[in-house]
Every structure is written in structure tokens, then in C-alpha cells.
Structure 1
Amino acid sequence: MYMCGKYNMVLCLLLTIAGVSSYAPIEYMNSYCNGTINVAAANRLKLDSNMVSGFSDNCQVQLKAADVFKSSIAVRISFLHLQVPCDEGIIVFSGFRTAFTSWCGYGSPSMSFKSLTDTGTIKFQKYSGVPVFTSSFDLLITNVNYGFCDSTEFECDNGDCIDNVLLTCDGNNNCGDDSDEAASVCIWTYPVIVGVSFGTVGFFAMIALL
């Protein structure tokens, strides 16, 4: 925890602003074909259209919830963006609690998908022989604990627990039900904090000039 004194007020305000920005490191699927992404809090998994031509026909990535202190953990996936023409390829999920196992088309599904265990798998199957590839997607992957939420975690309305410091009120639906972004939780939203911070800095600047 940072302690704010009168001489480092500006630094503390900047740290406060930085602390509420979205936390989800971006990983690219072509870098993890037949590999594993360990999800400590949250990650984004992206496929950009300019990468597709270099893929093998099948690129599979294992997603693993990484928390040695919890036993009841899983990964939850939400779509941020989906543009996979059905004549170019398909996204296939395995190991998730859903009847929907494959996706293609346009527009992001509103539902989220939770793994059966601490591991789930995503495969992008590219159809060979297609001359032009425009496919892209962006997935939000969150480490969730569905046991008892401890003091460092936020309890979602659906009973899942997510990292309270990094993931609540960051603009991403990490819970899968938007409860981590609810107005009652996010009283101090990013625009409000930025406005208050700059107003405070301006006030102290005026006092210094006077």
C-alpha cells in the first residue's frame, strides 16, 4: 500500500488513476499453438486477421487457472469481439459447462462460459483452401474461484470469486454477469477518479502559486 504525504500527493493520485485501468494482459493465439496459458487473474486471447494466413489448419490453446492456494478454480471466457466468417474457420471450446461448443459468424455472444475443471481448451480451426482470411476475435479469460471468497476477492452475484483489486470496476465483465461492474460497486469509476484527481492537482497548484 502506498502512503500519501503532502509532498507526494501528485504521485499518489497518478498511482490511483493507474490502478483503476483495465487489467488483462493480451496474448496472441499464434504464439501459443499447442501450448498453455496460465491465467493468474485475467488475460485476453486475440486472433488478428493478419496472423491467420500463417496458421496451421488447427491451432489449439490450453487455458489453465493458476492459483496454488485454491482448489475450486476454473476459467471463465467472455467474448469481447467475434469476426469469424463461417466459410473461413470456426472456434471450438472443450471442457466448458455449455451445450454450445463451436462458434463462427459476427457479433459477440452475450453469454460467458465456465470450465468444468481448472482447465479448458480453445481451438481455432482454419479451413484450408480459402484464399482470403479476415477472421479475428478477442476473448476475455478470467481465473475464478467458486469456493469461499476470501478478503482479497470480490464475490460475483453468480457465486464466483475474482481478484478484487485488479478486476473489479476495470471495464471488463470478469464475473460473467456484470456484477463486478455494477454502479453500486463502482462508485469511484475511472472518469470520476480522473476528474477528481486533476481537480485536486489543479487546486494544489493554485495554492502553490498564491
Structure 2
Amino acid sequence: MSIKGRNTFTWPLMLFLPLFVVIPAKSKETKLYYMNENCQSKIMLHREAIRLDLYRGGYPYAGFGCNTSVEATLVSVNRLVTTFRRMDTVSSVIGICSDASSRLDIYDGPYYHTGLPLTGIYGLCGKNVPKRSYHTFTNYMTFGFKTGSSSHQSFEAVITPYHEGQCFKDEYKCSNGYCVASYLRCDGYNNCGDNSDEKNCKFLLTIGAIIGIVVGCIAFIAIIIGFVVCCCCCPWCCSCEYQSI
């Protein structure tokens, strides 16, 4: 003769346990584009930011040249700002970037060689990441890259649509007066151009995190209420059954 105890009070908890599983919200991913896949073409943006790199798969061949335009399509968000996270191209010996080495130019407009480049008469090259930002007065920004080298080269630019003036409710007001989409705040990228959207982010809760906390609290309360109701209505739920064998 043996006594086997079976504790049955745990099943109410199992009933409500799925409510306690909260899937964390994921912020919008900043999509990555490559110039060699968008040569002589246009990338259209609404309010989302993108990243632009030089070449997917291997490295550019000697004599490689490519122009890629980016367009901000919304009338209310009609300018573009670019910052750099990485610059790893062939350096010029004399300090002037050239087609013989490598040269990246950025223009304010839909075409290559639209007026003077935003990057100056010397262009960008080398391995020093530009500290400044580049912004347009139109809703177009065009990138042009040429190289005479076949070595590995890359860069990473972050391109963000913005506008000035009064920000909308779903926008973030940068310290420089730019208005960008609020979900770009604290996403790890310098979307404002002055990096003000990435400051004081340590204790900032995203909307997804707040929703997760609220849902978790509601689920916990539901578990407690369910357990109490079960114990009051069905006393056997909270007791142990003993079965003789």
C-alpha cells in the first residue's frame, strides 16, 4: 500500500501561462541598399531611412563607375540628410580624391553633376569617416562613385528624409530643427545629422517596450484572478488528491 499525492492546483496557472508570454516588439529595420545593384536608378523613400553601401559581393572592378539617386516622395517631408558610419575606399596620395584612385560625390538634385557637389570639389575618399552631415534643399540626392582600383572598397551612408518647421505628432524634433519620423529615435543611426536623436537613449522606453510591460502586467493580474476564482468555485483545484494504490 502506498500513498501517491497529485497536486492539481497548478492547472489554473498553466491555463493562463500563454498570456504571460510577451513577444518583444522589433523596431523598424533600416534597409541596406548597394550602389552596384542600383546603378543609373532611383531609390524612393517615404519617411523611412535607408543605408547605402557601395558593392555587394566581392569588390568593384577597376574603372567601376555608378550613379544612384534617392528621392523623398512625400510633399511634407521633402529633403534628405546623409551621415556616414564607415568609409573604406582607396586614398589619394595628394589629398585630392580622383577617378584614378577613388572618389565619391554627393549632389543636391536628381542627376549626377547637378551643380556643385555637396561633398566639395575634392570629393570623398580614404578611410576617414566624414564627421559632418550632408543635406539637400530639394527632395533628391544623387551619389556618384568612380574608382580606378580593383581593391576591396566600401562605405556606409545613412540617408534620412526630413523637413523643417513644425513637426507632426509622429515626428521627432532634432536639435538642429529637423523633423524626422519618431520611430527613428534611438535606433542606433544618426538620422538627424547632429546625432541628437541618439542622445539620452539609455532609459528611453520604446512604444513596443511599453506595450510589452502593460501586456505582461495584465497577464499577471489575469493569472492571479483566475487562480483565486478557481479556488473559490472549485475547492478541489487548490487541494491535493490522494489515491490509494
Smaller-chain TM-score bracket: 0.7 to 0.9
Match of 1:73 in 2: 78
Distance 1:186 1:168, change over 3 A: farther
Structure 2 residue 170 is the aligned partner of structure 1 residue 152:
yes
Q: How does 1:1-210 map to 2 (within 5 A)?
A: 8-11=19-22, 13-14=23-24, 16=25, 18-19=26-27, 23-40=29-46, 41-48=48-55, 50-54=57-61, 57-68=64-75, 70=76, 73-86=78-91, 88-95=101-108, 98=118, 100=120, 102-127=123-148, 130=149, 132-164=150-182, 166-183=183-200, 187-188=204-205
**Structure 2 portions without partners, runs of 5+:** 1-15, 93-100, 110-116, 225-245
Q: Which letter does structure 2 place at the counterpart of 1:23?
A: E
Distance 1:61 1:187, change over 3 A: same
**Structure 1 portions without partners, runs of 5+:** none
Q: Figure out how many residues of one structure are paired with residues of the other and give that number.
A: 186
TM-score under structure 2 length normalisation: 0.64
Q: CA RMSD in A?
A: 3.4
Distance in 2 (alpha carbons) for counterparts of 1:145 and 1:186 = 27
Distance in 1 (alpha carbons) for counterparts of 2:17 and 2:175 = 39
Q: Which letter does structure 1 place at the counterpart of 2:107?
A: S
Distance in 1 (alpha carbons) for counterparts of 2:53 and 2:119 = 23
Cα displacement string for residues 169-196 of structure 1 (whole angstroms, at most 9, x for unaligned residues):
111110011111111796237xxx6xx9
Distance 1:118 1:54, change over 3 A: same
Q: Work out whether residues 39 and 141 of structure 1, in 8 Å CA contact, stay in contact via their aligned partners in 2.
A: no
Structure 2 SS opposite 1:141: strand
Q: Work out whether residues 91 and 124 of structure 1, in 8 Å CA contact, stay in contact via their aligned partners in 2.
A: yes
TM-score under structure 1 length normalisation: 0.74
Name the one with the larger strand percent: 1
Share of identical aligned residues, percent? 26
Match of 2:5 in 1: none
Distance in 2 (alpha carbons) for counterparts of 1:121 and 1:66 = 14
Flag the structure with more relative contact order, 1 or 2, with Cα contacts below 8 A and sequence separation at least 6.
2
Distance 1:55 1:76, change over 3 A: farther
